[in-house]
Structure 1
Amino acid sequence: MAILDAAASVFMKLGFAAASLDDISDNYGATKGIIYYHFRSKTALFFAVQRRAMELTRAAIEPAALASGSARERMEQMAFAHTLLMMEHLDYLRVAAQGLELHLGGRTTEEERAEMKRITTLRDNNERLYLKVLEEGVSNEEFRPMDARIAVKPLLGALNWTSRWYQPRKGETRADREVIATEIARYAVHGLLQHGR
């Protein structure tokens, strides 16, 4: 996990193309051989960081998605947890937001394309958690009438954009981040509500 932490930090700062295994091993504080023992290439490390980001996201939002309570309450809890995760694991989530296709483009092998598909499936499964709560909220009229399959895209776009603009401030506490996450979650959910609610 520490190797992935080091890789995520380097990929966030330098981008996939500019980052090297030397940069990652320096950040990790070990020889490049140790990196190669666990990951056969920079691309394999990049995939592992992407996968970890999707797993972290799932772990953050799933408890709220499956909890009891109204669709509105659950959606707000999901959005809060998602946004807080962005701030507390900024390197992973910023790398994930950069996207696989953007960095790897057409220079991929069949095996790499298969791994990209697996990671995309993880991302889509996370989206489906939001979609299910959205559809429930529309069905029971907590949320305004909408095509949930379309509405989920800008909702997630708003939440994921946190990884682009957020910068930790000196002395910032978890409570400070929770205030930000609460504000963003309320903003995101407000756009889903019936007028007058």
Structure 2
Amino acid sequence: MKAAGKSKPDGRKDILDAAAVAFMEYGYAGTSIDMVADVLGATKGKIYYHFKNKTDLFLDVHRETMSAYIEAVEEVAKGPGTPLDKLRGVLMTLALQVMNRLPYAKVAVQGLDMHMSRSTTPQQRGVLREIIDMRDRGENLLVEIIEDGIARGLLRPCLPRLIVKPMLGALNWMTVWYRQRPDDTPEARQALAEALVDYLLNGIVAPTV
């Protein structure tokens, strides 16, 4: 499978796309730089020009995933609408991100525990902290929206920080059951995202809404 996507001038985006595909198919342990080069359709020297090793590459794929998530959801959260509108918009955005960027999403759910527990370089630890900070930022954003919705009577009283966990867990679980098909269309993905988000919101929307 060849990676697809717009390339940045230095070619790093193409490498990240290829690495995401390789990590998705073989997992971290089973992926080698040679495999990434094969997906990329280039020599591994091109990869080593930008990345020192597989761990650096994996962390950069993960960082790219989280960065795209945060950029997308913050745009929705800062936009117009009620807290319910924003909550729906953020969940829809995340669901569509999973479907439209499935290799990256699958890498993100592989987790960072394996790297947190190993010895890493100072630079890698810095990237790990950056990824965790972005993850926390995204969760806090959802918590704030839900708190605002409860205060306005749009959402049922609940523990926002607790309810965010299963919401995000359900979206992450899409990486297990969702498969891209040749006949997929943007409309089909939109409908699937709407069905899932409706289900997630069903238990939290206030009865009067």
Higher mean Cα deviation, 20-29 or 157-166? Answer: 157-166
Give distance in 1, aligned partners of 2:90 and 2:116: 31
Deviation at 1:137, TM superposition (A): 0.5
1:81 corresponds to: 93
Structure with the bigger percentage of helix: 1
Match of 1:163 among 170, 175, 193: 175
For 2:199 and 2:91, the matched residues in 1 are separated by 10
1:176 Cα offset (Å): 0.7
CA distance in 1, matches of 2:79, 2:144: 12
Aligned-partner Cα distance in 2 for 1:109–1:160: 26
Letter in 1 for 2:90: M
Number of the residue aligned with 1:116: 128
Structure 1 residue 110: Cα displacement: 4.6
* Residues 1:40 and 2:52 aligned together: yes
1:107 pairs, out of 104, 118, 133, with: 118
Tell whether 2:184 aligns with 1:181: no
Q: Which moved more, 1:162-171 or 1:32-41?
A: 162-171
Is the contact between residue 75 and residue 133 of structure 1 (CA under 8 Å) also seen in structure 2? yes
- CA contact 1:77–1:185 (8 Å) conserved in 2: no
Correspondence for 2:155 among 126, 143, 146: 143
CA-to-partner distance for each residue in 1:143-170, whole Å, 9 max, x for gaps? 1111111111111111221122110122
**Where in structure 2 are the equivalents of 1:86-97 lying within 5 Å?**
86-97=98-109
Comparing 108-117 with 20-29, greater Cα deviation is found at 108-117
Does the CA-based 8 Å contact 2:65-2:108 persist in structure 1? yes
Residue among 21, 26, 29 paired with 1:9: 21
Unaligned runs of 5+ in 1: none
Work out the percentage of aligned pairs sharing the same amino acid: 37
Deviations 1:54-95 (A, max 9, x none): 011112212221112111111111111110110000000111
Distance in 1, matches of 2:86 and 2:127, equals: 31
Task: Tell me, in whole angstroms, the C-alpha distance in 2 between the residues paired with 1:38 and 1:185.
Answer: 39
What code does the residue aligned with 2:117 have? G
Letter in 2 for 1:109: T
Q: Return the offset for 1:129.
A: 1.6
Q: 1:62 aligns with which of 67, 71, 74?
A: 74
> Structure 1-normalised TM-score?
0.94
Q: Within 1, Cα distance between the matches of 2:125 and 2:67? A: 19
AA aligned to 2:48 is Y
Q: Distance in 1 between matches of 2:17 and 2:63?
A: 13
TM-score (norm 2): 0.89
Structure 2 stretches of 5 or more lacking a match?
1-12
Question: How many residue pairs get matched?
Answer: 196
User: Which secondary structure state, in structure 1, belongs to the residue aligned with residue 104 of structure 2?
Assistant: helix
Deviation >6 Å, runs of 4+: none
Q: 39-48 or 126-135: which moved more?
A: 126-135
Alpha-carbon distance in structure 2 between the residues aligned to 1:74 and 1:189: 12
Determine if the alignment matches structure 1 residue 125 to structure 2 residue 106. Answer: no
Report the more deviating stretch, 126-135 or 35-44: 126-135
Matching residue's letter, 2:106: R
